[in-house]
């Protein structure tokens, strides 16, 4: 009798835990697609196309969810983009979907099921940062050309180009504060570096980015225009941190060499 009660309580606890699993979190796909699920307006990029407007109204019920794109004022569509998914599996860290019933015939890579992992589960809590280099090119509009390198101790080399102030157009050095360096490391832990594509999508009227990151005794290198969803906070940090630093002109050689050409 005692064994039966223990088994019953264990089963009840298991059912209770499963009932608490929520789909309302951020999920990352095998090719950096994302579902930013909330009970209000969700943001989805399930075809990895990164359109400007990724706002969707999502309805979840009975093992399915429907997503209907919310049009912007300048977007007039007779039939708004809509997706219908069946939830095949949902755990704290894993979401498996089937999109075969979608009116838009959702197909990513000719597979019947599509795997997403909780963004939180992809955090590299033990990441060791060694150094990085980042460049951003100009575009047809106003896009600052910058080159920045940061080492494990927070030493910064910076060189500005077109669309930056004149004072930035010679090699500069600076030191990140402890807070700024810790912020960078925390962002890197959340950037899914192991999934970072070697080549990102390229757009005609957009700046081109180069990343070279040394971490965990490995080297990650990538270039292109469309930075993955999981690494956009890193992109924003590297594009703007120089504006917060006390930069000083490099007055004598310090044996530093850029990996990515500054020409």
Residue 80's pLDDT band (cuts 50, 70, 90): low
pLDDT tens digit sequence for 126-165:
999 999 999 999 988 889 999 999 999 999 999 999 999 8
Mean pLDDT across 196-216: 93
Compute, in degrees rounded to 10, the torsion defined by CA atoms 106, 112, 118, 123: -100
Longest dimension (CA), the chain: 83
Q: What 8-state DSSP symbol labels residue 170?
A: S
Q: Residue 209 is inside which H or E element, if any?
A: strand 209-215
More confident residue, 196 or 18: 196
For residue 256 the two structure tokens come to 């530093």
Nearest to 95 by CA among 191, 195, 22, 16: 22
For the record, the structure tokens of 211 come out as: 């990343």
Give the class (CATH, top level) of 129-249.
alpha beta
Kindly list the domain boundaries of the chain, sorted by start residue: 22-122, 129-249
Q: Reply yes or no on domain 22-122 having CATH 2.40.128.280.
A: yes
Over residues 55-82, the mean pLDDT reads 77
In which band, very low, low, confident or very high, does the pLDDT at 18 lie, cut at 50, 70 and 90?
very low
DSSP 32: S
93 confidence band (pLDDT: 50, 70, 90)? very high
Distance CA 141, CA 19 (A): 50
Q: What are the Cα distances from residue 207, in Å, to 51, 147, 170, 200, 255?
A: 16, 13, 21, 12, 29
> CA angle, 147 as apex, 146 and 153 as ends, to 5°?
130
Question: Whole-angstrom Cα distance, residue 178 to residue 234?
Answer: 17
Report the pLDDT value the prediction gives residue 40, as an integer from 0 to 100: 86
Report which DSSP code applies to 199.
Answer: B
Percent of the chain with pLDDT over 90: 51
The Cα 166–Cα 170 span in angstroms is: 8
What is the C-alpha separation between 43 and 119, in angstroms, rounded?
Answer: 14
Contact yes or no for 202/227 (Cβ under 8 A)? no
């Amino acid at each position: 009798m005692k064994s039966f009660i223990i088994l019953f309580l264990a089963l009840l606890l298991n059912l209770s835990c499963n009932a608490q699993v929520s789909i309302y979190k951020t999920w990352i796909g095998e090719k950096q697609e994302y579902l930013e699920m909330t009970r209000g307006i969700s943001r989805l990029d399930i075809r990895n196309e990164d359109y400007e407007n990724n706002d969707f109204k999502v309805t979840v019920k009975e093992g399915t969810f429907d997503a209907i794109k919310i049009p912007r004022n300048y977007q007039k569509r007779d039939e708004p983009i809509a997706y219908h998914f069946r939830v095949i599996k949902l755990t704290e860290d894993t979401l498996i979907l089937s999109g075969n019933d979608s009116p838009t015939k959702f197909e990513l890579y000719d597979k019947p099921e599509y795997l997403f992992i909780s963004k939180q589960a992809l955090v590299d809590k033990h990441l060791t940062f060694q150094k990085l280099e980042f460049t951003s090119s100009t575009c047809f509009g106003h896009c600052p050309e910058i080159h920045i390198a940061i080492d494990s101790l927070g030493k910064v080399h910076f060189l500005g180009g077109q669309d930056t102030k004149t004072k930035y157009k010679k090699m500069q050095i600076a030191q990140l504060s402890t807070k700024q360096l810790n912020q960078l490391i925390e962002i890197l832990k959340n950037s899914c570096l192991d999934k970072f594509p070697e080549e990102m999508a390229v757009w005609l009227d957009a700046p081109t980015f180069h990343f070279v990151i040394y971490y965990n005794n490995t080297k990650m290198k990538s270039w292109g225009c469309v930075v993955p969803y999981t690494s956009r906070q890193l992109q924003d940090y590297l594009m703007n941190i120089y504006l917060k630093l006390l930069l000083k002109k490099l007055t004598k050689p310090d044996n530093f060499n850029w990996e990515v050409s500054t020409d």
